[in-house]
Structure 1
């Protein structure tokens, strides 16, 4: 477990702290393969240590992965009230989308906290806001939302691949399929960890004929 999380649990008695830590570790191990069971562990940790921000954050992120949007949003809001910061904005905005409230996601993207984001955190929020625009059928606005200096096709890695993929998706939705194919290709080149299906999208759009 991260030493900073251990430190945050020091306010609990030793037995409770150890139990909470075990639940958090299990939630982290299970979140990808069994998010429902991971959420059960995160909820157990929250019941024992609901006044600790990192526990509420873990509960929120786990609920998000389990598709429990309302619970995730509530927990992440609580974590932000306790600790401040802006790192959770993209996840919170995506929860608003999950709840069928894309306008709220866009509103978060315009907030003062959003303007304070930089780097990959800012990029991730733009991806969510662009998705909210697409939910509303605002495809051209989605394209514009993603047009920043981070759209550099020489970049590699998961954050770049996700951004390029979202941009390509928006371009296709806006009727600019040829440009979209090029950015799906950039996404495939950047995606060294295989987190997207960019290559499949290229084949789908071109019929395998490039």
Structure 2
């Protein structure tokens, strides 16, 4: 249930996961989901505590990018960089490496280190000729830093590459597939545009059908594309010292137990169909 509503109503998703955490607080996927919904609602301190607990239970570094971004969210970019450097990146999957690079680049921007932010993104996955599910977000992040440096022409090129990668992935229908991207010359693009215009003049009805199909394709691409999650940098209160893992777990358990009756009533008010869905194992996953 939480995975289905997190984008539309993160608060409701958070209530569902809090309810699950009361019953199964020692299950890794529950703590992971609680961290993700806390992050989505802007509670970065809780997200960070839950992500530490999840990592201790599961032994996985898959959520390291979200941990780094949560450190940014509580206003500690220096500690975010330290955390990101604490893990050998070669042990991470390519998608996690990309998410970590984007989070580290954001921390550099928080510190005003724009040149270093660009270097953080210059990783092997920054290949304009191939596209994976993480490529549009990586290309767009690179374009943003280029723009911060005043290199607008290059920034525009990478934004176009991000758009082409997104469209290519949507057309392939498989996020795990490697898609080759060919950049068209200006003359070729003009020729294709002229051919499209001629075809439209010959048959208006076909042109209308193509317009409808293009709209449907655009919606499909939008649904399939990845959205970068950029944690707002706030002045959220957070202890300057990192508490130990046992204290994190105890503190979170107290928060869970003290949720007021209004939260319980809100979670219980969902339909019977939603309640049945809630019994199925669902894990929300971040976009990196």
* TM-score (normalised: structure 2): 0.57
**Counterpart check, 1:32 vs 2:32:** no
Instruction: Spell out, residue by residue over 1:74-110, the C-alpha distance to the aligned partner (whole angstroms, 9 max, x if none).
Output: 1111111111111010011111111111112211221
Bigger RCO (CA 8 Å, 6+ sep): 2
Match of 1:41 in 2: 16
Instruction: Please list every run of 5 or more consecutive structure 2 residues that lacks an aligned counterpart in the other structure.
Output: 168-220, 228-288
SS at match of 1:62: helix
Distance 1:111 1:36 in 2: 32
Q: Where does residue 86 of structure 1 map in the other structure?
A: 61
Moved over 4 A (4+): none
Match of 1:63 among 14, 38, 60: 38
- CA shift digits 1:131-170 (9 cap, x unpaired): 1111111110011111122111122344000000001111
Q: What residue is the counterpart of 1:147 in the other structure?
A: 122
State the SS of the aligned residue for 1:149: coil
**Alignment CA distance shift 1:74-1:113 (3 Å):** farther
> Which ranges of structure 1 fall in alignment gaps of 5 or more residues?
1-25, 198-210
Cα distance in 2, alignment partners of residues 60 and 45 from structure 1: 13
Residue aligning to 2:77:
102
Alignment correspondent of 2:108: 133
Alpha-carbon distance in structure 2 between the residues aligned to 1:107 and 1:74: 17
Count of residue pairs brought into register by the alignment: 172
Is 1:86–1:113's contact at 8 Å kept on the other side of the alignment? no
**Counterpart Cα distance in 1 of 2:59 and 2:89:** 13
Greater share of helix: 1
Query: 1:21 aligns to what?
Result: none
Distance in 1 between residues matched to 2:110 and 2:151, nearest whole Å: 18
Deviations 1:106-141 (A, max 9, x none): 112211254521311101100010011111111100
Q: CA RMSD in A?
A: 1.6
